[in-house]
Structure 1
Amino acid sequence: MTVTTGELGDTTEGAISDADLVVHDAVVLTVDEDNRIYENGTVVVEDGVLTDVRTTRDRDRACDANRVIDGEGRLVMPGLVNAHTHLELTPLLGAFSDLDLMEMMSGMTAIYGQIADGDYDYLTEAGYELAALNFLAGGVTTVNSMDVRPSAGAETFGEAGLRGFFGPALSDLFWDVPVDEQFDRARDFIDEYHDTYGGRIRATINPHDDWSCTRELWERTAALAAERPDLLVHTHLLELKESNTMARANGAEDSLDLLDDVGLLDDRLVAAHFRLADDEDIRRTAEADASVAHCPSIFCYWNTDGDVQWTPVPELRAAGVDVGLGIDDHYWHDSYSMFGEARQARLAANLKRSAGQYSSMELVRMLTVEGAEALGIGDEVGSLEPGKRADVILLDVDKPKFTPLTNIPAQVTNNAAPADVATVIVDGDVLMEDGDVKTMDADAVRDRVGTAVDRFEAETDWDLGLGESEPPSTLDVARDVPKRGPAQLLGRLVFQSIKDRLPS
């Protein structure tokens, strides 16, 4: 990829008129088609839209815009896109970190089952606030979240000024909530929240995955998607070895064949993980114009099988598939950092394969414009170009850690951290300036989270101490795990596995 540096412009241009916001004399990483970088750049915003991105002119510094930001020592770039995440259990950061895999999975499944039954609203509401606060402060301006009861998330992110895709997860083999009730909730959520908060909050349809949904649920999902052709379909796909096994139990050749059968393999599909995709899966995904969200940290932390191939992201991108980066369950690996997710994507791929799987600019694009394209909003956000919405972040690069300020894409993907984000702008509105969040009361959020965690400990016998986290006893966890759905799931997988071994 070609990175060009803008030259200092002339001084004859007049003052900028009618602008709402101007940033001047900043390093500007545009992430446009040519990946232009301006050494001394100006960004102009009017009515929430970027109207000019160019080299700074002398009169920019004294222009008559409503707000003028001196960008000296700042790197200006598009807001980050978290293309796949779950937010409700954010207050449990640190709770799962040192458990073994089965402890983590059983504990998480029990908690999600109780959330599905209507418990722990106090915890999940506090979780959305904490997630919004930390992602905002870390430069994440767009999230795509699949949760159990996402109404509080839509409201919290909307009121904070952020951009988000939300929808309730649908599954008939993961928990025991009646399917009719799940789809009623999904329709109600869509009706209430889609295209709200000035269009920043949008609803999605969320079949949970290809290993905990029956064909009947996939068919009902397709019917809902046909009713609402304006919505994305967001799922976990080809995440586990059990994915294709369950697809065969559902009467299909494999997971993509199942989605194709029911009419969901198309340009509205956002598939998280895609870890086990082969060449044929990549070809079919590219032909369908579907998208992928790559979440490297979660599998680096909780890898279930070291022999399983790594997600074939370079091959997906080479085939023309839009691939964004997602942080997934950030409370499973204790990190809100999308910059860290880009670094992890490189390190994991290089370790599993060989060095040179990505250039730094490719990772920057996956953090921004390719994540936006994966969510179907690449024409609105993701790069700094005239005509796009003004989702912009400013990093403080006047620090020893960024000295010397060379190879900006590498600095962003290898060195930057959430703490380096100084200012955040969404739709032209300044949500955080010089580290001061304007749209949320950070102290009040922290107080509510502390109260929620104390109550959760008292109600569940989890011990979330300073030294380590201790989950309830195995018997207590087993008591709370959903029974009917998971039992059917395991039965189907076992039966199909036996069937697969029989002579054809």
Structure 2
Amino acid sequence: MAVDIAISDTLVLTVDERNRLYERGTVLVDDGRIAEVRKSEDGDGEIEATHTIDGDGKLVMPGLINVHTHLELTPLIGAFSDLDLLEMMGSMTAIYGRLGEGDFDYLVESGYELAALNFLLGGVTTINSMDVRPSAGAETFGEAGLRGFFGPTITDLFWDVPVDEQFDRARTFIDKYHDSYDGRIRATICPHDDWSCTRGLWERTADLAAEYPGLLVHTHLLELEESNTMARANGGEDSLDLLDDVGLLDDRLVAAHFRVADEEDIERTAAADASVAHCPSVFCYWNPDAEMQWTPVPELREANVDVGLGIDDHYWHDSYSMFGEARQARLAANVKRTTGQFSSMELVRMLTIDGARALGVGDEIGSIEPGKRADIILLDVDKPKFTPLTNVPAHVVNNAAPGDVETVIVDGEVVMQDEVPETMEADAVQQRVKEAVERFADETGWELDIGGGEPPGSVETIRDLPKRGPARLLSRLALQSARDKFPF
């Protein structure tokens, strides 16, 4: 009996419950699912299949999962790299304010294409993205054959877009894109964070979530010291208390960052069966406070909270590499604490099955097991850098890079083979991005060239910043900080 894909005589890192590793294994795929995983037998190379792959010198593992990201400004990679923190935040906020008003669609569209292309090339088969206008992202990733969770940002203290309009956009997006592209594209509900949303917005978000009970709620949570301050301004004891009050602290919650979480936060998150996305590189690059604690990932994992890895704003730290994110998670935790915070296999699981569980799809993807959807990548490990091939999980999280990915399979379809994308034209994508960046520079006054990036002057930046929302945000934080210091 023929199958769709047969991979034989290959190294297989299954990431199943036993973390089984086959030194010489065979993986069969049929009708979009993994049909069989086992030790190779003589004659497996002759199995009748539409696609036959000789796995000699290859490592087969689950596709990588980027649990938290933002994609619209992908063409501006390199633009923010050498700014100081305040310059970066001011410039970024000004651009996002204009995105909220509907500007720069050409940049957004090319950005989604570039992100999809680079994640495809790097073995990232699933992403979870929060953006301003994600329709182009859903379509681009869907047509590229990738898997994605998308949702439009909702906030009333970050920009000045009317709240009614934002919720209308969210409903329209959900109705059009949820469960589209053969179920590979799913919608999410995305209140921006716990410091730029009022209680009224959280309550409306809870109402929207009740309308769509199958959708994840994706937000930034406990990212900054100001998180709990704003929660108190919103009538909660802290951020988790506020979310619990409005009915959003449950198993649908995907919380990015979680940097300032304490022991009680961890216990409540575990009890609610909520999930966390850990994004180490962006804070290693843009850490606003050297004394702030690091995300307590070991304690979260010990409490059985599903923790996946996210690359966040990759254009802030100039890397599409999820392998690099795993390495950075280890290095940052070891520096902040002591060595030995993670085993290599723990990090592999955070890249794959734990990320899938964080997104509520651990029963569908994230490991190579019979019955699961076939999201699989093949790495070329017949290279000097992988010699000798001892401790494969350590090689994956310490040594592997996107350029090592040779073949990508999503939902049983080969979307990249021999390092050549089958569903995207790389040259055309690159050309559209170059044209978009040139147009953006002409329209905004940004200087973007091979020497770096320089934003417009402070006058132009201030002119483009949202006014009403941020002013309310700062006044609320100031008032609550005064109340905390001088209770009355």
Which TM-score bucket, shorter chain as reference? over 0.9
Q: Find the aligned partners of 1:244 and 1:62 in 2 and give their Cα distance.
A: 61
Q: Find the aligned partners of 1:450 and 1:309 in 2 and give their Cα distance.
A: 39
Q: Find the aligned partners of 1:41 and 1:31 in 2 and give their Cα distance.
A: 14
Picking from 337, 359, 375, the partner of 1:353 is: 337
Q: CA deviation at 1:65?
A: 1.4
Does 2:115 match 1:98? Answer: no
Q: Find the aligned partners of 1:460 and 1:66 in 2 and give their Cα distance.
A: 50
Alignment-derived partner of residue 216 in structure 2: 232
Alignment-derived partner of residue 365 in structure 1: 349
Does 2:260 match 1:279? Answer: no
Picking from 147, 165, 186, the partner of 1:202 is: 186
CA contact (8 A) 2:15 2:62 kept: yes
Q: Could you tell me which amino acid in structure 2 is paired with residue 299 of structure 1?
A: F
- Deviations for 1:42-91, whole angstroms, at most 9, x for unmatched residues? 00001000010111111111111121100001000000000000000000
Where in structure 2 are the equivalents of 1:18-33 lying within 5 Å?
18-33=2-17
Does 2:389 match 1:405? Answer: yes
Picking from 314, 317, 321, the partner of 1:330 is: 314
Does 2:461 match 1:466? Answer: no
Alignment-derived partner of residue 485 in structure 1: 469
3-state DSSP class of the match of 2:3? coil
Identity of aligned residues (%): 75
Q: CA deviation at 1:18?
A: 2.5
Q: Could you tell me which amino acid in structure 2 is paired with residue 492 of structure 1?
A: R
Where in structure 2 are the equivalents of 1:374-393 lying within 5 Å?
374-393=358-377
Where in structure 2 are the equivalents of 1:91-490 lying within 5 Å?
91-490=75-474
3-state DSSP class of the match of 2:49? coil
Q: Find the aligned partners of 1:253 and 1:412 in 2 and give their Cα distance.
A: 42
Q: Find the aligned partners of 1:18 and 1:495 in 2 and give their Cα distance.
A: 69
RMSD: 0.5
3-state DSSP class of the match of 1:387? coil
Q: Find the aligned partners of 1:28 and 1:93 in 2 and give their Cα distance.
A: 34
Q: Find the aligned partners of 1:54 and 1:474 in 2 and give their Cα distance.
A: 61
Alignment-derived partner of residue 77 in structure 1: 61
Q: Find the aligned partners of 1:370 and 1:169 in 2 and give their Cα distance.
A: 24
Q: Find the aligned partners of 1:503 and 1:326 in 2 and give their Cα distance.
A: 39
Does 2:34 match 1:50? Answer: yes
Q: CA deviation at 1:465?
A: 1.2
Q: CA deviation at 1:299?
A: 0.4
- Deviations for 1:307-342, whole angstroms, at most 9, x for unmatched residues? 000000000000010000000000000000000000
Q: Find the aligned partners of 1:62 and 1:122 in 2 and give their Cα distance.
A: 48
3-state DSSP class of the match of 1:281? helix
3-state DSSP class of the match of 2:43? helix
Q: Find the aligned partners of 2:153 and 2:160 in 1 and give their Cα distance.
A: 13
Q: Find the aligned partners of 2:429 and 2:97 in 1 and give their Cα distance.
A: 25
3-state DSSP class of the match of 1:382? coil
Gaps of 5+ in 2: none
Q: Find the aligned partners of 2:276 and 2:74 in 1 and give their Cα distance.
A: 24
Q: Find the aligned partners of 1:224 and 1:237 in 2 and give their Cα distance.
A: 19
Alignment-derived partner of residue 7 in structure 1: none
Which runs of structure 1 show a deviation greater than 4 angstroms over 4 or more consecutive aligned residues?
none
Alignment size in residue pairs: 488
Gaps of 5+ in 1: 1-16
Q: Could you tell me which amino acid in structure 2 is paired with residue 345 of structure 1?
A: A
What TM-score does the superposition give when structure 2 sets the normalisation length?
1.00
- Deviations for 1:73-126, whole angstroms, at most 9, x for unmatched residues? 100000000000000000000000000000000000000000000000000000
Q: Find the aligned partners of 2:456 and 2:473 in 1 and give their Cα distance.
A: 25
- Deviations for 1:338-376, whole angstroms, at most 9, x for unmatched residues? 000000000000000000000000000000000000000
Alignment-derived partner of residue 13 in structure 1: none
Q: Find the aligned partners of 2:216 and 2:449 in 1 and give their Cα distance.
A: 40
Q: Find the aligned partners of 2:452 and 2:145 in 1 and give their Cα distance.
A: 35
CA contact (8 A) 2:2 2:47 kept: no
Q: Find the aligned partners of 1:126 and 1:224 in 2 and give their Cα distance.
A: 30
Q: CA deviation at 1:503?
A: 3.7
3-state DSSP class of the match of 1:58? coil
3-state DSSP class of the match of 1:457? helix
CA contact (8 A) 2:63 2:126 kept: yes
Q: Could you tell me which amino acid in structure 2 is paired with residue 332 of structure 1?
A: W
Q: Could you tell me which amino acid in structure 2 is paired with residue 367 of structure 1?
A: L
Q: Could you tell me which amino acid in structure 2 is paired with residue 288 of structure 1?
A: A
Q: Find the aligned partners of 1:462 and 1:237 in 2 and give their Cα distance.
A: 31
Q: Find the aligned partners of 1:433 and 1:334 in 2 and give their Cα distance.
A: 25
Q: Find the aligned partners of 1:465 and 1:485 in 2 and give their Cα distance.
A: 33
- Deviations for 1:162-186, whole angstroms, at most 9, x for unmatched residues? 0000000000000000000000000
